[in-house]
Structure 1
Protein backbone atom coordinates (compact mmCIF):
# COMPACT_ATOMS: atom_id res chain seq x y z
CA UNK A 1 0.00 0.00 0.00
CA UNK A 2 1.51 3.36 -0.98
CA UNK A 3 2.50 5.76 1.79
CA UNK A 4 2.00 9.46 1.32
CA UNK A 5 2.90 12.44 3.43
CA UNK A 6 0.05 14.61 4.66
CA UNK A 7 0.93 17.16 1.96
CA UNK A 8 0.92 14.53 -0.79
CA UNK A 9 -2.39 13.13 0.43
CA UNK A 10 -3.96 16.58 0.27
CA UNK A 11 -2.62 17.23 -3.25
CA UNK A 12 -3.96 13.88 -4.48
CA UNK A 13 -7.30 14.40 -2.74
CA UNK A 14 -7.68 17.85 -4.32
CA UNK A 15 -6.86 16.42 -7.76
CA UNK A 16 -9.41 13.64 -7.29
CA UNK A 17 -12.04 16.16 -6.21
CA UNK A 18 -11.31 18.56 -9.09
CA UNK A 19 -11.05 15.97 -11.88
CA UNK A 20 -13.89 13.89 -10.45
CA UNK A 21 -16.17 16.93 -10.43
CA UNK A 22 -15.20 17.77 -14.02
CA UNK A 23 -15.83 14.22 -15.27
CA UNK A 24 -19.04 13.68 -13.31
CA UNK A 25 -20.41 17.03 -14.52
CA UNK A 26 -19.64 16.13 -18.13
CA UNK A 27 -20.76 12.49 -18.18
CA UNK A 28 -22.64 11.65 -14.99
CA UNK A 29 -21.62 9.24 -12.25
CA UNK A 30 -22.87 6.12 -14.06
CA UNK A 31 -20.77 6.63 -17.19
CA UNK A 32 -17.48 7.70 -15.59
CA UNK A 33 -15.08 4.88 -14.75
CA UNK A 34 -12.35 4.67 -12.13
CA UNK A 35 -9.88 4.20 -15.02
CA UNK A 36 -10.93 7.57 -16.46
CA UNK A 37 -10.59 9.24 -13.07
CA UNK A 38 -7.07 7.90 -12.46
CA UNK A 39 -6.03 8.80 -16.00
CA UNK A 40 -7.28 12.37 -15.52
CA UNK A 41 -5.57 12.74 -12.14
CA UNK A 42 -2.34 10.98 -13.11
CA UNK A 43 -2.43 8.52 -10.21
CA UNK A 44 -2.32 4.74 -10.06
CA UNK A 45 -5.56 2.80 -9.71
CA UNK A 46 -4.36 1.39 -6.39
CA UNK A 47 -3.81 4.93 -5.16
CA UNK A 48 -7.42 5.78 -6.00
CA UNK A 49 -8.59 2.92 -3.79
CA UNK A 50 -6.50 4.12 -0.85
CA UNK A 51 -8.64 7.27 -0.92
CA UNK A 52 -12.08 5.96 -1.96
CA UNK A 53 -13.60 2.48 -2.07
CA UNK A 54 -15.55 3.40 -5.24
CA UNK A 55 -16.28 6.17 -7.71
CA UNK A 56 -19.66 6.57 -6.02
CA UNK A 57 -17.96 7.43 -2.72
CA UNK A 58 -15.89 10.06 -4.54
CA UNK A 59 -19.06 11.45 -6.14
CA UNK A 60 -20.81 11.69 -2.77
CA UNK A 61 -17.77 13.42 -1.23
CA UNK A 62 -17.66 15.98 -4.04
CA UNK A 63 -21.44 16.55 -3.90
CA UNK A 64 -21.25 17.02 -0.13
CA UNK A 65 -18.48 19.61 -0.47
CA UNK A 66 -20.38 21.50 -3.17
CA UNK A 67 -23.55 21.49 -1.07
CA UNK A 68 -21.60 22.70 1.94
CA UNK A 69 -20.21 25.56 -0.15
CA UNK A 70 -23.74 26.41 -1.27
CA UNK A 71 -25.00 26.41 2.33
CA UNK A 72 -22.17 28.76 3.31
CA UNK A 73 -23.03 31.09 0.44
CA UNK A 74 -26.66 31.03 1.58
CA UNK A 75 -25.69 32.71 4.85
CA UNK A 76 -25.63 36.07 3.07
CA UNK A 77 -29.15 35.45 1.72
CA UNK A 78 -30.42 34.50 5.18
CA UNK A 79 -28.90 37.54 6.84
CA UNK A 80 -30.26 39.89 4.18
CA UNK A 81 -33.80 38.45 4.42
CA UNK A 82 -33.97 37.52 8.11
CA UNK A 83 -36.95 39.89 8.65
CA UNK A 84 -39.20 37.63 6.52
CA UNK A 85 -41.63 35.30 8.31
CA UNK A 86 -40.03 31.83 8.79
CA UNK A 87 -42.00 30.04 6.08
CA UNK A 88 -41.30 32.79 3.51
CA UNK A 89 -37.63 32.83 4.50
CA UNK A 90 -37.33 29.05 4.11
CA UNK A 91 -39.11 29.17 0.75
CA UNK A 92 -36.78 31.94 -0.40
CA UNK A 93 -33.77 29.87 0.68
CA UNK A 94 -34.77 26.86 -1.37
CA UNK A 95 -35.63 28.91 -4.45
CA UNK A 96 -32.27 30.68 -4.05
CA UNK A 97 -30.48 27.32 -3.81
CA UNK A 98 -32.04 26.02 -7.00
CA UNK A 99 -31.03 29.20 -8.81
CA UNK A 100 -27.51 28.69 -7.44
CA UNK A 101 -27.33 25.22 -9.01
CA UNK A 102 -26.41 26.94 -12.27
CA UNK A 103 -22.97 27.54 -10.70
CA UNK A 104 -22.52 23.82 -9.94
CA UNK A 105 -22.76 21.73 -13.14
CA UNK A 106 -22.22 18.42 -11.33
CA UNK A 107 -25.12 19.03 -8.96
CA UNK A 108 -27.25 20.49 -11.74
CA UNK A 109 -27.02 17.34 -13.87
CA UNK A 110 -28.08 15.08 -11.00
CA UNK A 111 -31.64 13.78 -11.07
CA UNK A 112 -33.83 11.04 -9.64
CA UNK A 113 -32.01 8.42 -11.69
CA UNK A 114 -28.69 9.56 -10.20
CA UNK A 115 -30.14 9.36 -6.68
CA UNK A 116 -31.55 5.86 -7.34
CA UNK A 117 -28.16 4.74 -8.70
CA UNK A 118 -26.31 6.06 -5.63
CA UNK A 119 -28.80 4.42 -3.25
CA UNK A 120 -28.19 1.08 -5.01
CA UNK A 121 -24.40 1.39 -5.14
CA UNK A 122 -23.51 2.99 -1.82
CA UNK A 123 -23.77 1.33 1.58
CA UNK A 124 -26.54 2.68 3.83
CA UNK A 125 -23.99 4.21 6.23
CA UNK A 126 -22.56 6.40 3.43
CA UNK A 127 -26.03 7.69 2.56
CA UNK A 128 -26.80 8.22 6.25
CA UNK A 129 -23.57 10.23 6.74
CA UNK A 130 -24.60 12.48 3.84
CA UNK A 131 -28.08 12.85 5.39
CA UNK A 132 -26.45 13.79 8.72
CA UNK A 133 -24.50 16.56 6.93
CA UNK A 134 -27.75 17.87 5.42
CA UNK A 135 -29.49 17.63 8.80
CA UNK A 136 -26.71 19.61 10.48
CA UNK A 137 -26.93 22.37 7.87
CA UNK A 138 -30.73 22.42 8.01
CA UNK A 139 -30.53 22.87 11.79
CA UNK A 140 -28.68 26.12 11.17
CA UNK A 141 -31.93 27.55 9.79
CA UNK A 142 -33.25 27.55 13.35
CA UNK A 143 -30.81 30.39 14.07
CA UNK A 144 -33.01 32.46 11.75
CA UNK A 145 -36.30 31.55 13.43
CA UNK A 146 -37.24 28.60 11.21
CA UNK A 147 -38.66 25.77 13.33
CA UNK A 148 -39.64 22.40 11.90
CA UNK A 149 -42.95 20.96 13.09
CA UNK A 150 -41.94 17.37 12.33
CA UNK A 151 -38.42 17.38 13.74
CA UNK A 152 -35.13 17.76 11.85
CA UNK A 153 -34.84 14.14 10.65
CA UNK A 154 -38.20 14.07 8.84
CA UNK A 155 -37.68 17.63 7.57
CA UNK A 156 -34.27 16.68 6.15
CA UNK A 157 -35.61 13.63 4.32
CA UNK A 158 -38.63 15.54 3.02
CA UNK A 159 -36.45 18.36 1.70
CA UNK A 160 -33.94 15.92 0.17
CA UNK A 161 -36.82 14.26 -1.68
CA UNK A 162 -38.05 17.68 -2.77
CA UNK A 163 -34.56 18.58 -4.04
CA UNK A 164 -34.44 15.46 -6.24
CA UNK A 165 -37.93 16.24 -7.57
CA UNK A 166 -36.82 19.78 -8.41
CA UNK A 167 -33.75 18.47 -10.24
CA UNK A 168 -36.10 16.44 -12.43
CA UNK A 169 -37.85 19.71 -13.40
CA UNK A 170 -34.76 21.14 -15.06
CA UNK A 171 -36.01 20.15 -18.52
CA UNK A 172 -38.99 22.46 -18.08
CA UNK A 173 -38.99 26.09 -19.19
CA UNK A 174 -37.89 28.59 -16.54
CA UNK A 175 -41.37 30.06 -15.98
CA UNK A 176 -43.08 26.68 -15.74
CA UNK A 177 -40.34 25.31 -13.47
CA UNK A 178 -40.60 28.30 -11.12
CA UNK A 179 -44.40 28.03 -10.89
CA UNK A 180 -44.29 24.29 -10.14
CA UNK A 181 -41.53 24.72 -7.56
CA UNK A 182 -43.44 27.47 -5.76
CA UNK A 183 -46.67 25.43 -5.61
CA UNK A 184 -44.85 22.38 -4.24
CA UNK A 185 -42.79 24.42 -1.78
CA UNK A 186 -45.87 26.24 -0.48
CA UNK A 187 -47.60 22.93 0.24
CA UNK A 188 -44.60 21.16 1.76
CA UNK A 189 -43.46 24.10 3.88
CA UNK A 190 -46.98 24.57 5.23
CA UNK A 191 -46.60 21.10 6.77
CA UNK A 192 -42.91 21.37 7.74
CA UNK A 193 -42.52 24.86 9.17
CA UNK A 194 -44.14 25.90 12.44
CA UNK A 195 -46.64 28.66 11.66
CA UNK A 196 -45.36 32.14 12.48
CA UNK A 197 -48.36 32.77 14.75
CA UNK A 198 -47.65 29.84 17.12
Structure 2
Protein backbone atom coordinates (compact mmCIF):
# COMPACT_ATOMS: atom_id res chain seq x y z
CA UNK A 1 0.00 0.00 0.00
CA UNK A 2 1.48 3.36 -0.99
CA UNK A 3 2.46 5.79 1.75
CA UNK A 4 1.12 9.31 1.39
CA UNK A 5 1.53 12.34 3.62
CA UNK A 6 -1.68 13.89 4.93
CA UNK A 7 -1.36 16.71 2.39
CA UNK A 8 -0.87 14.20 -0.45
CA UNK A 9 -3.88 12.19 0.72
CA UNK A 10 -6.07 15.29 0.73
CA UNK A 11 -4.81 16.37 -2.70
CA UNK A 12 -5.43 12.91 -4.19
CA UNK A 13 -8.88 12.60 -2.58
CA UNK A 14 -9.89 16.00 -3.97
CA UNK A 15 -8.54 15.09 -7.41
CA UNK A 16 -10.43 11.76 -7.34
CA UNK A 17 -13.63 13.53 -6.42
CA UNK A 18 -13.16 16.28 -9.03
CA UNK A 19 -12.29 13.92 -11.89
CA UNK A 20 -14.80 11.31 -10.74
CA UNK A 21 -17.60 13.89 -10.80
CA UNK A 22 -16.54 15.09 -14.27
CA UNK A 23 -16.49 11.53 -15.64
CA UNK A 24 -19.75 10.48 -13.96
CA UNK A 25 -21.52 13.56 -15.35
CA UNK A 26 -20.11 12.96 -18.84
CA UNK A 27 -20.68 9.21 -19.11
CA UNK A 28 -22.79 7.95 -16.19
CA UNK A 29 -21.67 5.68 -13.40
CA UNK A 30 -22.11 2.43 -15.31
CA UNK A 31 -19.87 3.44 -18.22
CA UNK A 32 -16.99 4.92 -16.21
CA UNK A 33 -14.20 2.51 -15.31
CA UNK A 34 -11.66 2.73 -12.51
CA UNK A 35 -8.96 2.73 -15.21
CA UNK A 36 -10.48 5.93 -16.65
CA UNK A 37 -10.68 7.51 -13.19
CA UNK A 38 -7.03 6.79 -12.35
CA UNK A 39 -5.88 7.92 -15.79
CA UNK A 40 -7.74 11.23 -15.39
CA UNK A 41 -6.41 11.62 -11.86
CA UNK A 42 -2.82 10.62 -12.66
CA UNK A 43 -2.52 8.01 -9.93
CA UNK A 44 -1.81 4.29 -9.97
CA UNK A 45 -4.74 1.88 -9.84
CA UNK A 46 -3.43 0.47 -6.56
CA UNK A 47 -3.49 3.97 -5.11
CA UNK A 48 -7.17 4.31 -6.00
CA UNK A 49 -7.92 1.33 -3.76
CA UNK A 50 -6.12 3.04 -0.88
CA UNK A 51 -8.97 5.57 -0.98
CA UNK A 52 -12.05 3.73 -2.27
CA UNK A 53 -13.18 0.13 -2.52
CA UNK A 54 -14.94 0.76 -5.83
CA UNK A 55 -16.10 3.46 -8.24
CA UNK A 56 -19.52 3.18 -6.59
CA UNK A 57 -18.01 4.17 -3.22
CA UNK A 58 -16.37 7.16 -4.91
CA UNK A 59 -19.70 8.08 -6.51
CA UNK A 60 -21.48 8.01 -3.14
CA UNK A 61 -18.74 10.13 -1.54
CA UNK A 62 -19.06 12.74 -4.30
CA UNK A 63 -22.89 12.67 -4.13
CA UNK A 64 -22.76 13.05 -0.34
CA UNK A 65 -20.49 16.10 -0.61
CA UNK A 66 -22.71 17.71 -3.24
CA UNK A 67 -25.78 17.11 -1.08
CA UNK A 68 -24.02 18.64 1.92
CA UNK A 69 -23.38 21.80 -0.11
CA UNK A 70 -27.02 21.94 -1.14
CA UNK A 71 -28.20 21.39 2.43
CA UNK A 72 -26.04 24.26 3.67
CA UNK A 73 -27.76 26.49 1.13
CA UNK A 74 -31.11 25.06 2.24
CA UNK A 75 -30.60 26.65 5.67
CA UNK A 76 -30.82 30.07 4.07
CA UNK A 77 -34.00 29.07 2.20
CA UNK A 78 -35.60 27.79 5.41
CA UNK A 79 -34.70 30.96 7.29
CA UNK A 80 -36.23 33.14 4.58
CA UNK A 81 -39.44 31.05 4.48
CA UNK A 82 -39.89 30.10 8.12
CA UNK A 83 -43.27 31.90 8.29
CA UNK A 84 -44.89 29.37 5.92
CA UNK A 85 -47.17 26.71 7.45
CA UNK A 86 -45.23 23.46 8.05
CA UNK A 87 -46.64 21.47 5.14
CA UNK A 88 -46.18 24.34 2.70
CA UNK A 89 -42.64 24.91 4.01
CA UNK A 90 -41.81 21.24 3.28
CA UNK A 91 -43.35 21.45 -0.17
CA UNK A 92 -41.54 24.65 -1.11
CA UNK A 93 -38.28 23.30 0.31
CA UNK A 94 -38.59 20.15 -1.81
CA UNK A 95 -39.38 22.18 -4.94
CA UNK A 96 -36.46 24.52 -4.14
CA UNK A 97 -34.11 21.54 -3.94
CA UNK A 98 -35.19 20.35 -7.37
CA UNK A 99 -34.60 23.81 -8.79
CA UNK A 100 -31.15 23.78 -7.18
CA UNK A 101 -30.27 20.51 -8.92
CA UNK A 102 -29.56 22.56 -12.05
CA UNK A 103 -26.33 23.57 -10.31
CA UNK A 104 -25.40 19.96 -9.49
CA UNK A 105 -25.44 17.95 -12.75
CA UNK A 106 -24.31 14.70 -11.16
CA UNK A 107 -27.21 14.74 -8.70
CA UNK A 108 -29.62 15.94 -11.38
CA UNK A 109 -28.92 13.03 -13.69
CA UNK A 110 -29.39 10.39 -11.00
CA UNK A 111 -32.63 8.47 -11.47
CA UNK A 112 -34.29 5.18 -10.58
CA UNK A 113 -31.86 3.25 -12.78
CA UNK A 114 -28.89 4.85 -10.99
CA UNK A 115 -30.43 4.07 -7.60
CA UNK A 116 -31.11 0.44 -8.57
CA UNK A 117 -27.52 0.06 -9.79
CA UNK A 118 -26.08 1.50 -6.57
CA UNK A 119 -28.35 -0.70 -4.42
CA UNK A 120 -27.02 -3.77 -6.26
CA UNK A 121 -23.36 -2.74 -6.14
CA UNK A 122 -22.94 -1.22 -2.69
CA UNK A 123 -23.10 -2.86 0.73
CA UNK A 124 -26.28 -2.20 2.64
CA UNK A 125 -24.45 -0.22 5.34
CA UNK A 126 -23.24 2.33 2.74
CA UNK A 127 -26.81 2.90 1.54
CA UNK A 128 -28.05 3.11 5.14
CA UNK A 129 -25.36 5.71 5.97
CA UNK A 130 -26.61 7.81 3.07
CA UNK A 131 -30.19 7.46 4.37
CA UNK A 132 -29.03 8.65 7.80
CA UNK A 133 -27.46 11.72 6.20
CA UNK A 134 -30.81 12.52 4.57
CA UNK A 135 -32.65 12.00 7.84
CA UNK A 136 -30.46 14.65 9.53
CA UNK A 137 -31.96 17.18 7.13
CA UNK A 138 -35.48 16.16 8.10
CA UNK A 139 -34.53 16.66 11.73
CA UNK A 140 -33.45 20.18 10.70
CA UNK A 141 -36.95 20.78 9.29
CA UNK A 142 -38.30 20.06 12.75
CA UNK A 143 -36.37 23.10 14.00
CA UNK A 144 -38.64 25.13 11.70
CA UNK A 145 -41.86 23.73 13.15
CA UNK A 146 -42.32 20.70 10.89
CA UNK A 147 -43.76 17.71 12.77
CA UNK A 148 -43.82 14.33 11.08
CA UNK A 149 -46.79 12.01 11.70
CA UNK A 150 -44.51 9.02 11.14
CA UNK A 151 -40.96 8.33 12.30
CA UNK A 152 -38.05 10.18 10.68
CA UNK A 153 -36.84 6.95 9.05
CA UNK A 154 -40.17 6.38 7.27
CA UNK A 155 -40.40 10.06 6.30
CA UNK A 156 -36.83 9.94 4.94
CA UNK A 157 -37.43 6.83 2.84
CA UNK A 158 -40.75 8.22 1.57
CA UNK A 159 -39.13 11.48 0.47
CA UNK A 160 -36.13 9.66 -1.04
CA UNK A 161 -38.53 7.57 -3.12
CA UNK A 162 -40.29 10.76 -4.22
CA UNK A 163 -36.97 12.37 -5.13
CA UNK A 164 -36.03 9.48 -7.40
CA UNK A 165 -39.50 9.53 -8.98
CA UNK A 166 -39.20 13.26 -9.61
CA UNK A 167 -35.80 12.80 -11.25
CA UNK A 168 -37.49 10.40 -13.65
CA UNK A 169 -39.88 13.22 -14.66
CA UNK A 170 -37.08 15.30 -16.16
CA UNK A 171 -38.14 14.42 -19.72
CA UNK A 172 -41.44 16.26 -19.20
CA UNK A 173 -41.66 19.98 -19.88
CA UNK A 174 -40.93 22.14 -16.84
CA UNK A 175 -44.53 23.27 -16.31
CA UNK A 176 -45.93 19.71 -16.40
CA UNK A 177 -43.12 18.48 -14.17
CA UNK A 178 -43.80 21.14 -11.55
CA UNK A 179 -47.57 20.46 -11.65
CA UNK A 180 -47.05 16.72 -11.20
CA UNK A 181 -44.54 17.27 -8.39
CA UNK A 182 -46.96 19.64 -6.65
CA UNK A 183 -49.86 17.17 -6.81
CA UNK A 184 -47.74 14.29 -5.49
CA UNK A 185 -46.12 16.41 -2.78
CA UNK A 186 -49.51 17.71 -1.58
CA UNK A 187 -50.79 14.14 -1.20
CA UNK A 188 -47.69 12.69 0.44
CA UNK A 189 -47.07 15.62 2.78
CA UNK A 190 -50.70 15.51 3.94
CA UNK A 191 -50.03 11.96 5.11
CA UNK A 192 -46.64 12.48 6.76
CA UNK A 193 -46.57 16.13 8.01
CA UNK A 194 -48.84 17.61 10.68
CA UNK A 195 -50.09 21.06 9.75
CA UNK A 196 -51.41 23.96 11.83
CA UNK A 197 -54.98 23.08 10.82
CA UNK A 198 -54.75 19.37 11.80
TM-score normalised by structure 1 residue count: 0.98
Instruction: Give the match for residue 186 of structure 2.
Output: 186
Q: How far 1:29 moved relative to its partner?
A: 0.5
Task: Give the Cα separation in 2 of the matches to 1:146 and 1:8.
Answer: 43
Deviations 1:143-169 (A, max 9, x none): 100111101000000000000000000
Task: Give the Cα separation in 2 of the matches to 1:87 and 1:77.
Answer: 15
Q: How far 1:138 moved relative to its partner?
A: 1.6
Unaligned runs of 5+ in 2: none
Q: How far 1:113 moved relative to its partner?
A: 0.2
Tell me the number of residue pairs that the alignment of Structure 1 and Structure 2 aligns: 198
Unaligned runs of 5+ in 1: none
Task: Give the Cα separation in 2 of the matches to 1:197 and 1:178.
Answer: 25
Q: SS state of the match for residue 4, structure 1? A: coil
Instruction: Give the match for residue 12 of structure 1.
Output: 12
Q: How far 1:52 moved relative to its partner?
A: 0.3
Q: SS state of the match for residue 148, structure 2? A: coil
Task: Give the Cα separation in 1 of the matches to 2:123 and 2:196.
Answer: 39
Q: How far 1:136 moved relative to its partner?
A: 1.1
1:158 is the counterpart of 2:158: yes
Q: How far 1:101 moved relative to its partner?
A: 0.4
Instruction: Give the match for residue 115 of structure 1.
Output: 115
Instruction: Give the match for residue 141 of structure 2.
Output: 141
Instruction: Give the match for residue 88 of structure 2.
Output: 88
Q: SS state of the match for residue 196, structure 2? A: coil
Instruction: Give the match for residue 69 of structure 1.
Output: 69
Deviations 1:162-193 (A, max 9, x none): 00000000011001100000000000000110
Q: How far 1:57 moved relative to its partner?
A: 0.4
Task: Give the Cα separation in 2 of the matches to 1:113 and 1:196.
Answer: 38
Q: How far 1:195 moved relative to its partner?
A: 2.1
Deviations 1:17-63 (A, max 9, x none): 11111110111111100000000100100010010000000001100
TM-score normalised by structure 2 residue count: 0.98
Instruction: Give the match for residue 37 of structure 2.
Output: 37
Instruction: Give the match for residue 49 of structure 1.
Output: 49
Task: Give the Cα separation in 1 of the matches to 2:196 and 2:32.
Answer: 47
Q: How far 1:194 moved relative to its partner?
A: 1.1
Task: Give the Cα separation in 2 of the matches to 1:66 and 1:41.
Answer: 19
